[in-house]
Amino acid sequence: MWGVASGNCRTLIDVGLDMNTYPDIPSFFAEQGPEPIERFVSLNLDLSQRIYTLLQERSWSESDLARALSITEAEVSLRLGGTYDWRLREVVELEVVLGERLIILAE
């Protein structure tokens, strides 16, 4: 089962893709590099960077975000680490809390 509400959080590490075992992202892609994984990690990093930018613009800390989302600081850190497997609901919750769209679909 996936998700925070149940207390079960799945990441790339849970499925055997631990970024800490690679010296850098190109090394990870050289070994793991199917395009879907590459795109997944790239989008995750982009999302994390956008969230950090919005936090800075609001002078918020990870602790502030944790309080706003009613989750722990450790959970915020996990989610913003760049390899968390986001659920759409979690992204929407972030959009509401931060007052900004994070996902914009092309028409």
Domain boundaries, the chain: 13-98
Residue 2 has what pLDDT?
28
Torsions phi, psi of 11, nearest 5? -130, 180
Residue 30 has what pLDDT?
72
pLDDT digits (tens, 9 = 90+) for 50-76: 999 999 999 999 999 999 999 999 999
pLDDT at 11 over 60: no
Report if pTM > 0.75: no
- The CATH code of domain 13-98 reads 1.10.260
